[in-house]
Amino acid sequence: MSQRLWGGRFSGGPADALAQLSASVHYDMRLVPYDIAASRAHARVLERAGLLTGDERERIIAALDDLERAVAAGEFTATIADEDVHTALERGLVERLGALGGKLRAGRSRNDQIATDLRLYTRAHARDLAADLLDLCEALTAQAELHRGTPAPGMTHTQHGQPITFGHQLLAHVQGFLRDLDRLSDWDERTSVSPLGAGALAGSSLKLDPVAVAEELGFKEAAANSIDAVSDRDFAAELLFVTAMIGIHLSRLGEEIILWTTTEFGWVELDDAFATGSSIMPQKKNSDIAELARGKSGRLIGNLTGLLATLKALPFSYNRDLQEDKEPVFDSLDNLALVLPAVTGMVATMRVHADVLAAAAPLGFSLATEIADWLVRKGVPFRDAHEITGAVVQYCGKEGVELHEVPDDALAAISEHLDPSVRSVLTVEGALAGRTTPGSTGPGPVADQLAAVTTRLASWREWAEA
Ligand code: ARG
């Protein structure tokens, strides 16, 4: 008898070209622990349905345990003739148990098995991803703590806008990653549905117990519709959206670090262990990690759009197109598992040049808004205050002076509302200290934000390790 799970009605074996095209075993063997966990649950259900004796169930579970061990030890390897992980594992079971190994297939199909396996795999790996993300958030937060009071240029359009604290900017990146963690746990809730019991598409005439299987496998519930159970890949697409979004957040952080480490900015220097050199220019220190973080976002987005295109217009229920779900999911998770620890190390070890940042903070007339706000506090409509401040900036540009250097008579000439006391607001420290509302860049709100972020990270850590 061939090891194929579907040979009965065929007179010959598959053409080599078909076998090559059809095989997924070269990448789906990583599902072994999940497929075996589902098989254990299925064996117990078959016993309760009276389809296996207690002794048979025991021997099957012992063989599954041994098979799992053998795969992990490299003693059992799949070949292309196995086609996929399910076929390979059935072969392993039959090698161990003879005909008894063939009993486990009763009441299930590769269609409900693969949907179950991928849900189990992604749910487990989402926790690992969350743990890696948390490491990065903690590195960013530690730098933010160090630089909670370091003045820096805050930018819009990559031009100096208003002074900020560097810690506030670093925490802005953490906020995005915290939303990614929210998305992961929302996703996990929705993915906590067990397809096993759906069989090929219609459920089973055997007395299976999908609810008990769901519970044993850590799912909240069993699927409500067997057709949906084997056809739905929303969970894979959604996870790919979350990973793409994480990639986009990483690319934005990477892009900033690339800018910060340029000679032109000079805000940050990378540790030697997290930077690379050039094969021809001996002086170079390149931020390749930040660039790879930026570059990888392309494939993460591609994996999402590729799977969405595969799913579009697929008729119910299972179609072989769905086999295309696994590689993008594995690729996105694998790549984030590579990128995140590297970015974390880079962030944790980078040296921030607080003096350069502080010196740059007031440049580009970044305190001009303070003049406008000062005028508003004196009752001048903001529309006029904006015009008046614009005239001050114009004067500075023409005379080559900074805002606080505009002479008394020039102030008076620009507007009757201006007087020398306006200079009291023209310091970076004053501008920062004045920003006391929640979420703003002043030292008070940044301290509150740091405390809140630290609490949230700790509770996410519990989730990731659960
Ligand atoms: N390798 C297949 C997949 O990944 C398993 C399901 C195959 N089912 C089938 N009817 N050919 O989707």
Give the model confidence (pLDDT) of 179-196 as tens digits: 999 999 999 999 999 999
Give residue 94's pLDDT. 97
Q: What is the mean pLDDT of residues 98-123?
A: 97
**Three-state secondary structure along 77-97?**
CCCHHHCCHHHHHHHHHHHHH
AA letter at 34:
Y
Confidence tier at 5 by pLDDT (50, 70, 90): confident
AA letter at 352:
V
The answer to whether 193 and 219 have CB atoms below 8 angstroms apart is yes
Phi, psi for residue 352 in degrees, rounded to 5: -95, 125
Instruction: Write out the DSSP string of 177-208.
Output: HHHHHHHHHHHHHHH-EE-TT-TTTT--SS--
Q: Report CA(342)–ligand 1 centroid distance (Å).
A: 36
Q: Within 10 Å of residue 338's Cβ, how many Cβ atoms?
A: 12
Give the model confidence (pLDDT) of 219-277 as tens digits: 999 999 999 999 999 999 999 999 999 999 999 999 999 999 999 999 999 999 999 98
Confidence tier at 2 by pLDDT (50, 70, 90): low
What's the rounded Cα separation, in Å, for the pair 300 and 339? 12
182, 262, 450 from 143: Cα distances, Å: 23, 19, 11
Rounded to 5°, the CA angle 248-253-256 comes to 125
Confidence tier at 142 by pLDDT (50, 70, 90): very high
Give the model confidence (pLDDT) of 149-181 as tens digits: 999 999 999 999 999 999 999 999 999 999 999
Give residue 1's pLDDT. 59
Q: Which atom of ligand 1 is nearest to the CA of 83?
A: 1
Read off the pTM: 0.94
Give the model confidence (pLDDT) of 354-403 as tens digits: 999 999 999 999 999 999 999 999 999 999 999 999 999 999 999 999 99
Q: What is the mean pLDDT of residues 321-345?
A: 98
Active site residue 173: no
Give residue 411's pLDDT. 96
Give the model confidence (pLDDT) of 400-409 as tens digits: 999 999 999 9
Q: Within 10 Å of residue 87's Cβ, how many Cβ atoms?
A: 21
Check if 87 has its Cβ closer than 6 Å to any atom of ligand 1: no
Q: Report CA(110)–ligand 1 centroid distance (Å).
A: 6
Residue 293: name the closest of 260, 253, 262 by CA: 253
Q: Report CA(83)–ligand 1 centroid distance (Å).
A: 9
Domains of the chain: 16-106 (1.10.275.10), 111-147+156-360 (1.20.200.10), 368-426 (1.10.40.30)
Active site residue 278: yes
Whether residue 326 is predicted with pLDDT greater than 90 in this model: the reply is yes
Query: Of all residues in the chain, what percent carry a pLDDT higher than 70?
Result: 100
Whether residue 280 is predicted with pLDDT greater than 90 in this model: the reply is no
Give residue 347's pLDDT. 98
